[in-house]
Amino acid sequence: MTRWYGRLPLRSRLAMLVGLAVAVAVALSAAACWLVTRDRLTEQLDETLSSVKVTDTYVRALVDHCNGQPLAGNPPPTPYTVRLVSSSGYDCTAPGKSEIPVQRADKLVAQQRLSNAVHTTRAKNGTEMRVFTTLGPVTDTSGNPLAISVATPMDQITQPLDQLALVLLVVAGIGVLGAAYAGLWVAQSGLKPVDRLTDAVEHVARTEDLAVRIPVDGEDEIARLSRSFNSMTSALAASRDLQQQLIADAGHELRTPLTSLRTNIDLLVRSEQSGRPIPPADKAALLESVKAQMGELAALIGDLQELSRPARGPAAVEVVALHDIVGTALARVRLRGPSLTLTADIDPWYVRAEPAGLERAVVNLLDNAVKFSPAGGSVEVRLAGGELTVRDHGPGIAPDELPHVFERFWRSPSARSLPGSGLGLSIVARTAEQAGGAVRLRSAELGGTEAVLTLPGAPTPPPDVPYGEGPQGPPE
């Protein structure tokens, strides 16, 4: 049953549920109506029976008839059945009427233990009777009081109830069918946005066309789902565009060093094949160029791998001493700019980040400052209050170029002759965003560029996170 129901379309299931809910509601309402009507009709019948007055003359004549004497006079016809009940259980029914069996409640009334009794029973001929019994004004031959029962057929109640049940059944059936049809109509109308969403999803899956959008109308759940779908396709389209752009830019950036590397290697091969050796000084310069180009390729590939690496989960994030990372990065960068003066003013600062990625970002910032600093220049590094500032005294960046510095493969026209892939600052921006911080570049006073990396954290590690002993500042 569950599998069959699960294979039905959603609109069919909604129609069935609506029809079932209406059927239950109509059935309960009909049953309540029938029961209330029955109780009310029964109360009215009981009131009628209790108001029936049996004359003393008729009761005495009925007593004489029960004792074997002929019924005196000619009593008028009546729709009620009159019966006498003694305390011993003896009963006598009026002539011409079907006998009614005595119930215990009738005896209790005759024994004066109850003032009256009302019950339903069946007469000897099978007719269902409603009986009202009360104490009469006469006694039997032994002087015991007699109870008088007045009974009438239940047909005046059962027939209207049967007709009412038939009417309720017909009305309920029509109501259930109408509710099922209405439920199907409501389901079809309400699921039209879902159908549009389904068609859009199937279209995307079939054609990979991420430009499709679903019209959004209203503020209900379907509208929210449509907006979420549109946002998802927009994000996927943007991601695919970025991916394609990254591939195109990477191919363009790789073409130049590969072409140069192939040219140099071809020169070396032709020299060996032709037997005309290249002068030692030129050969050494050629090999040095090949080595530099291979290093440039390795750096570019490493940067591409870093950018293409998905964001790591919370398990890779830990409490990191940013001042230690800055100290390690300074030690590495000093080797790349031995003629520069690097000064550092670093205060302790702990952040939550992925250690390797954060160290790479800091090294990129310092490398960028070293690359643009003139020979014999200086680079100032300062870490205070979670803000790492790296200031160089190079040519600076034009104001119209600042918005583009964090774009992938973007390089300033004045820096295109310098080594680099154009991905370093993009890696810094991504790392800062993943750590909940931000990075920006600005022109420094008196020339040069100032890079500011801001990361949330605290000057002391969290008390519940142990932090190992190690160097607490930059090397001297």
**pLDDT tens digits, 344-372:** 999 999 998 888 888 888 888 888 888 88
At residue 27, what are phi and psi to the nearest 5 degrees? -65, -45
End-to-end alpha-carbon separation of the chain, Å? 78
| Structure tokens that stand for 93 in this block | 């029914």
Per-residue pLDDT reduced to its tens digit, 74-107: 555 578 888 888 887 778 888 878 888 888 898 8
Tell whether the torsion through CA atoms of 118, 119, 123 and 124 is positive or negative: negative
β-strands 341-346, 378-384: how paired?
parallel
Distance CA 118, CA 151 (A): 10
Fold of the domain built from segment(s) 314-458: Heat Shock Protein 90 (3.30.565)
Distance CA 400, CA 325 (A): 32
Average pLDDT, integer, range 97-125: 89
pLDDT of residue 471: 37
Answer whether 221-308 and 314-458 agree in fold.
no
Count H helices, E strands: the chain?
11, 13
Residue 467's pLDDT band (boundaries 50, 70, 90)?
Answer: very low
Per-residue pLDDT reduced to its tens digit, 269-308: 888 788 778 888 878 888 877 877 777 677 667 666 666 6
The pTM score is 0.46
CATH entry, 221-308, from 1.10.3470, 1.10.287, 2.30.29, 2.50.20 = 1.10.287
Sorted by where each begins, the domain ranges of the chain are 9-190, 221-308, 314-458
Distance CA 216, CA 227 (A): 7
Are the C-beta atoms of 333 and 370 separated by less than 8 Å?
yes
Per-residue pLDDT reduced to its tens digit, 366-410: 888 888 888 888 899 999 988 999 998 888 777 777 776 777 655
